[in-house]
Structure 1
Amino acid sequence: MTVTEPIIAGFYPDPSICRVDDTYYLINSSFEYLPGIPIHASTDLVTWNLVGNALTRTTQIAEHQGYPSAGIFAPTIRHHAGRFWIIGTNVNDIPLGRGHFLIHADNPAGPWSDPIFIPGTTGIDPDIVWDEDGIAHVTWCSLDGSNPGILSAPVDTDTGQLQDAPKQLWEGTGLAFPEGPHLYQIGDWWYLLLAEGGTERGHAATIARSRTIEGPYESSPHNPLLSHRSLPLPVQNVGHADLIELEDGAWAAVHLGVRPRGQTPGFHVNGRESFLVGIDWVDGWPVIDEDRYPVTPTDHSFSDAFTTPAIHPRWLGVGVFPSTFTEPHPEGGLLINSAANGSHSLLSARTTDLSWAASTKFDADAGEGRFVVRIDDKNWYGLSYDGTTVTATVTIGGLPNTVGRWQPPTGVSPFLQISAHPAPLLPHGVSLEPDLIELTAGADDVEHAFGTFDGRYLSTEVTGGFTGRVIGVEATVGQIRVHHVQYETNHNPVQTRHEMKDAE
């Protein structure tokens, strides 16, 4: 048996974890989506709840910048001396020479402080750790060609100033792209955990140790600590791990992985997700137990009618905060205003299942809108409504294709639905596609199906990048009033469409 279910599904990659008493806190990369750095909490390591986001305002991160899969890379969360700390990289800031950023909070649900930048730390994937004297050390994957490798230096957390010249700690085991460092002082040893091999099929976690934080570091005889490379397992790309000591003294690790489907090379569509493994210590080295924590499939369904002024932290904007283009409607629902200057007004949420159905209903009396599933600006499928006609569009590589139009009864706002269904199996038991995307609209017991479309073109293997699919509602012209958005974990793909229509 090998665990096949993530503890946090959907594109929640590069997990980092800390513990305070009996509660664990986990954060992830968020890339171009805002608010940034989602924060989950758990008391059992298996069941997690989204408690907020760390980057929630423009004094922490600028809007309207970057490109798909830019933004926030691989942050680390730690708890020290009664305070939570997050250190991360905004790759949009690298050309500005700001270095990594450091924020803190008394409560992981926020609010989090404005950032302190750490100049002289050009790179990605930073980590922070405090030594026995209480001195903070920042460690990162350098992108400075004159000083490459995994670098580390002491830092003043009040000012962001390095207190010594960065030193190279370890170059890894020889695999490509040594990155994602985490330092731990455990007993008499300093352990340095890395991600290696790239975040695709060659991904791995490796570890080394030293008697001092400066090194030299010796590689574990068990390396790679974790990898599924070249193995016929349903979860692939595993790596980028973070260790955690449990309240009872046992150990575990979180790591990223993907669930590819379809013919070779396999296609993952929900991004890189967060998984959990156990840790044993053998002769002073960590050894992975992948079966210690069985994870059962989770129902991720939600229905949001936007009945409160503050929207749920699941909702994201593409490079902008949702608060800049949404406002409550006085009679219920949510107003979405179209964006200017080529930016987005897409209110989006991550897809989290291998099979799902999502629907919405909005009024287009004062504008036009659309309901989409997307990976990036150039790759999305969706349904547009202008008050009279529903138009289905499949956009691949930036080339939009109209695949159908339908007119609902006059004066009735239709429901718009997008579903992801399992692809049919070929005789040898493999499907061509990872899934099929169905586009449907309906009103007054009349339903119009536009067809099903190949899910490969909304997969990371086709589009590239580091994110996964989101569903979202966007005002493309003027203003729309959204009555609700509903998402269903699809345990019965045949029935779900009709069940959701009946719920309108």
Structure 2
Amino acid sequence: MSTFKNPVIPGFYPDPSICRVGDVYYLVTSTFEYFPGIPIFKSKDLVNWSQIGHVLTRPSQLNLDGTPNSKGIYAATIRYHKGIFYVITTFVESQTGARRNFFVTAENPEGPWSDPYWLDDCPGIDTSLFFDDDGKVYVTANRRPPGGQLYPKHMEIWLQELDLETKQLTGEKYSLWDGALKYIHAQEAPHIYKVDGKYYLLIAEGGTGFTHSVTVARSESITGPYEGAKTNPILTHRHLGREYPIANVGHGDLVETTNGEWWMVCLGSRPYGGMYRNLGRESFLVPLKWEEGWPVVNPGKGIVEMEGVKPNLKEKRWPTEPACDHFDLPELRMQWNFIRTPREDFWSLDERPGYLRLHLKSERITEDVNPAFIGRRQCHINFAARTKMEFTPTNRNEVAGLVLLQNTDFHYRVECTQSEIRLVKREAGEEELLALQPYQHQKVFLKVEAYGQSYHFYFAEEQEKWEVLKEDVDGRILSTDVAGGFTGAYMGMYASSNGTDSSNYADFDYFEYIGLK
């Protein structure tokens, strides 16, 4: 019997949402403060996924200026209706600022996608769309109950009709749901489905941490009342203890295959070295069946497994991104991201063909700004990453090199200066110099290897002639369990003039990332 391995999309790809168009499946995930926003993937077998683009690729679609860590674009939902793709999502401005909801549309999922249609009087987060048989369209999301919260993070799920002509909500708001179990908090991530004439409301509850879960309710009418399943939660791992290899399971979305099978995509995390989740929240796949009018997740097991039986679909593998990016394409490959919205062309692939040129910016990666950083996700527990850089700093403010990033206040920086290479640890906003080696050459090779939570940093003047910068560095500061927030670890190339003007630049010949056994 053919099997697949979870997660199906490894690394920081949380809050998956899925839809099917013919025999092709499309999936989107959250991106928070990273740009471009909302990666979109396609698959024909639910196991092998290929990224085909991003939904939010233009500053007019996504203004992340000043957005704090782990704010920005929250859970998106993707749906398809009468030749049009819809993605609806929440933009969270700040810790206490507005939660603003909008949707975008496209005829081609690869783009271009429209500019946002902002929804008035649309509170809460985790908006979703449902297209009913009678032609009506509905938005669901969460909010604080109108009668007040009965316990911390007590939320309810609401529903309202959407007018596709005016691109605004219309009619009455309906309260649908405010908890499967008393004191299970953070009701969010609602999705509605119609199966055998009944409406089913899928909800995430229990927060995004260890107590995360998926619950379900059903109704004869879309506006309710909704009856909760006596088997709730239909999916959680909170009962498995803190040594189980998959944790934080929740936030699901359902899809029916061309063969009539049902599957759920959901988020989960793979802790390692203890309850530490450097990889963030990832996208998992789990089977689902209907029994007596209710969904049952992975019958007989009830959990998300590391290895499971494949969907009954013909396997379709896609070309994979090369492990080593030689920067020889006219545009950046899709795995690369910026922190917040780039407002200027501080990078170039054609000023020196075959190299990524990063112009130094005065902004620092320690600030809520758009620094000269181009990074990619950590997708493996064990990995090796290396790059070759050419850089001639002209004063003590100019630095360039390699960053392993959780956020502005928790990261490692390998910086080349006028006279040295240094490894800086930033934890809770405080910096510590971990290593320093004299170095005054224009060319340098930089490498990091990670084995679990043990990170090792190296440099070289000549290829493969590695010297130790620092070994056995604690990687746990790159986990959300230490740093807080909702994102996973990134790594990438960085250049800064640290608050001063500069016309200098650093050239990167390649960047290689390999998952290790």
Q: Could you say what secondary structure the match of 2:482 adopts?
A: helix
**Alignment equivalent of 2:386, drawn from 328, 346, 359:** 359
TM-score by structure 2 length? 0.87
Q: Provide the C-alpha distance between the structure 2 equivalents of 1:373 and 1:301, rounded to a whole number of angstroms.
A: 21
Q: CA RMSD, aligned part only?
A: 2.4
1:421 is aligned to 451
Q: 1:334 pairs with 353, 356, 372, which one?
A: 356
Residue 458 (structure 2) aligns with = 440
Among 366, 387, 392, the residue aligned to 2:423: 392
d(CA) in 2 for partners of 1:33, 1:307: 24
Q: Secondary structure at the match of 2:201?
A: strand
CA contact (8 A) 2:204 2:250 kept: yes
Q: What is the Cα deviation at residue 94 of structure 1?
A: 9.7
Q: Residue deviations 1:112-167, cap 9 Å, x none?
A: 10010111012100000111111110000115766851111001134332111211
| Structure 1 CA distance for aligned equivalents of residues 96 and 279 of structure 2 | 30
Local SS of the residue matching 1:166 = strand
Deviation at 1:459, TM superposition (A): 0.9
Confirm or deny: 8 A CA contact 1:46 1:293 kept in the other structure.
no
Structure 1 position 206 matched with structure 2 position 237: no
- Show the counterpart of 1:243: 254
Cα distance per residue 1:161-208 (max 9 Å; x no partner):
211121101112121111110011112100000000111010100000
2:64–2:72 CA contact under 8 A, matched in 1: no
Letter of the 1:349 counterpart = R
Greater alpha carbon shift after TM alignment, 395-404 vs 316-325: 316-325
1:501: which partner in 2?
none
The 1-side partners of 2:134 and 2:96 are apart by 34
The answer (yes or no) to whether the contact 1:123–1:144 under 8 Å persists in 2 is no
**Which residue of 2 is the match for residue 313 of structure 1?**
334
Letter in 1 for 2:296: V
Cα deviation, 1:234-287, whole Å, max 9, x if unaligned, reads: 101101000001011110000000011223xx1111100000000111001110
Kept in 2: contact 1:322–1:345 (CA 8 A): no
How far is the alpha carbon of 1:364 from its aligned partner? Answer: 1.1
Unaligned runs of 5+ in 2: 149-154, 299-303, 312-317, 498-503
Aligned residue for 1:373, secondary structure, equals strand
**Contact 1:370-1:476 at 8 Å conserved across structures:** no
User: How far, CA to CA, are the matches of 1:107 and 1:406 in structure 2?
Assistant: 51
User: Displacement, 1:98?
Assistant: 7.6
- Aligned counterparts of 2:248 and 2:344: Cα–Cα separation in 1: 35
Q: Which residue of 490, 498, 507 corresponds with 1:470?
A: 490
- Give the Å deviation of 1:370: 2.0
Partner of 1:460: 480
Asked whether the 8 Å contact 2:30–2:38 carries over to 1, the reply is: yes
CA–CA distance in structure 2, aligned partners of residues 66 and 17 of structure 1 = 27
- 1:380 to partner: Cα distance: 0.7
State the one-letter code of the partner of 1:149: E
Which whole-Å deviations, capped at 9, do the CAs of 1:217-236 have from their partners, x for residues lacking one? 00112211100112042101
Q: Give per-residue Cα distances to partners, 1:432-471, cap 9 Å, x unaligned.
A: xxx1111111122542212221111111111110001000
1:41 matched to which residue of 2?
A: 42
Measured in 2, the distance between the counterparts of 1:331 and 1:18 equals 39
Q: Is the 8 A contact 1:394 1:401 kept in 2?
A: yes
Matched residue type, 2:382: S
Which stretch of structure 1 is more off in the superposition, 383-392 or 348-357? Answer: 383-392
> 1:290-342 CA deviation, whole Å, 9 max, x = no partner?
465459xx998621111122111111111123973211223331111223455
1: CA distance between counterparts of 2:167 and 2:100?
Answer: 9
Aligned mates of 1:340, 1:442 — CA distance in 2: 27
Shift of 1:411: 4.0
For 1:136-285, what aligned pairs fall within 5 Å after superposition? 136-143=137-144, 149-174=156-181, 175-232=184-241, 233-263=244-274, 266-285=275-294
Does structure 1 conserve the Cα–Cα contact (< 8 Å) formed by 2:252 and 2:267? yes
- Assess if the C-alpha contact under 8 Å between 1:209 and 1:219 holds in 2: yes
Given residue 90 of structure 1, which amino acid in structure 2 is its aligned partner?
F
Deviations for 1:89-113, whole angstroms, at most 9, x for unmatched residues? 0011897868310101111111110
Give, in angstroms, the shift of residue 28 of structure 1.
Answer: 0.4
Shift of 1:386: 2.5
Change (3 A) 1:358 1:94: closer
> Which structure 1 segments of 5+ residues have no match?
423-434, 492-504
Matched with 1:372 is 403
CA distance in 2, matches of 1:197, 1:56: 32
SS in 2 for 1:461: helix
Choose which of 391, 412, 416 in structure 2 pairs with 1:381.
412
Distance 2:344 2:332 in 1: 9
From the superposition, tell whether residues 437 and 22 of structure 1 become closer, same or farther in structure 2 (CA, over 3 Å): same
The answer to whether the 8 Å contact 2:68/2:94 transfers is no
Helix, strand or coil at the partner of 2:466: strand
TM-score of the two chains, using structure 1 as the length reference: 0.89
CA-CA distance at 1:407 after TM superposition: 3.3
Identity percentage of aligned residues: 35
Distance 1:324 1:146 in 2: 49
Runs of 4+ in 1 over 4 A off after TM superposition: 93-98, 143-148, 298-301
Q: 1:347 to 1:229 in 2, by over 3 A?
A: same
Number of aligned residue pairs: 475
1: CA distance, partners of 2:179 / 2:278 = 30
Contact 2:92–2:100 (Cα < 8 Å) also in 1: no
Contact 2:92 2:99 in 1 (8 A): no
Cα separation, partners in 2 of 1:350 and 1:323, compared to 1, 3 Å:
farther
